[in-house]
């Protein structure tokens, strides 16, 4: 019989996936047999806060983890469900069974604790330097950003034209023509 695996869950938006994320995942993945990485707010894209589609994020994360030699992970896109009372059940239905949850977010911690899970803190890695918001701002203003993300992520962003998309959007979110 297949030996009992210990799976852990980590959810992020990864807009984009950066070296801080990678370091956390490298650390956590040594503490479990299988790491489930939830790609949160999967339905969002094309805004300053959420420029990349779930599929683009899937690709960039996969390349980054593969280049690190990691292979004991699942990537699972998760659309938001705007009712916290059913959120844990929603996550449970989308991913394989898991035992541990890693998070630094108080609401996530609270919801999983109410559902009986073992919740641990995600070991932060140089949070001031590695930040999605900072990277998006650098892309828009033309500053250097490639050194803040794994090589496979930078390649993906360039391939899908994500840097130009971000500059085009420049913080305007409405698709209304307000002529």
Residues 93-152 that bind a second copy (CB under 8 A): 93-97, 102-111, 114, 122, 124, 132, 152
Phi first, then psi: what are they for 173, rounded to 5°?
A: -105, -30
Query: Residue 57 CA to chain centroid, in angstroms?
Result: 8
Order across the sheet with 34-39: list the strands.
73-77, 34-39, 7-12, 100-102, 118-120
Residue 107 or 143 having the CB closest to a second copy: 107
Binding to a second copy (CB under 8 A): which residues in 36-95?
A: 40-47, 53-56, 58-59, 62-63, 71, 74-77, 79, 81-90, 92-95
Minimum CB distance to a second copy, residue 144 (Å): 19
Q: Using the rule CB under 8 A, is 3 a contact of a second copy?
A: no
User: Least distance to a second copy from the beta carbon of 100, Å?
Assistant: 13
Burial string for 140-154 (b: 16+ CB within 10 Å, else e) reads: beeeebbebbbebbb
* Binding to a second copy in span 18-37, by CB under 8 A: 20-21, 24
d(CA 112, CA 128): 27
């Amino acid at each position: 019989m297949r030996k009992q695996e210990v799976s852990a869950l980590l959810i992020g938006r990864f807009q984009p996936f950066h070296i801080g994320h990678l370091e956390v995942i490298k650390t956590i993945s040594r503490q479990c047999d299988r790491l489930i990485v939830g790609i949160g707010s999967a339905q969002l894209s094309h805004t300053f806060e959420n420029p990349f589609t779930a599929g683009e994020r899937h690709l960039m994360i996969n390349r980054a983890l593969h280049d690190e030699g990691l292979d004991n992970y699942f990537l699972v896109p998760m659309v938001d469900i705007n009712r916290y009372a059913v959120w844990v059940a929603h996550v449970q239905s989308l991913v394989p069974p898991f035992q541990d949850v890693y998070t630094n977010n108080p609401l996530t911690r609270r919801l999983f604790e109410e559902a009986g899970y073992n919740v641990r803190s995600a070991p932060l890695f140089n949070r001031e330097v590695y930040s999605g918001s900072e990277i998006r701002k650098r892309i828009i203003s033309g500053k250097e950003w490639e050194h803040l993300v794994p090589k496979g992520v930078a390649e993906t962003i360039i391939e899908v034209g994500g840097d130009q998309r971000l500059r085009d959007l420049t913080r305007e979110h409405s698709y209304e023509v307000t002529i």
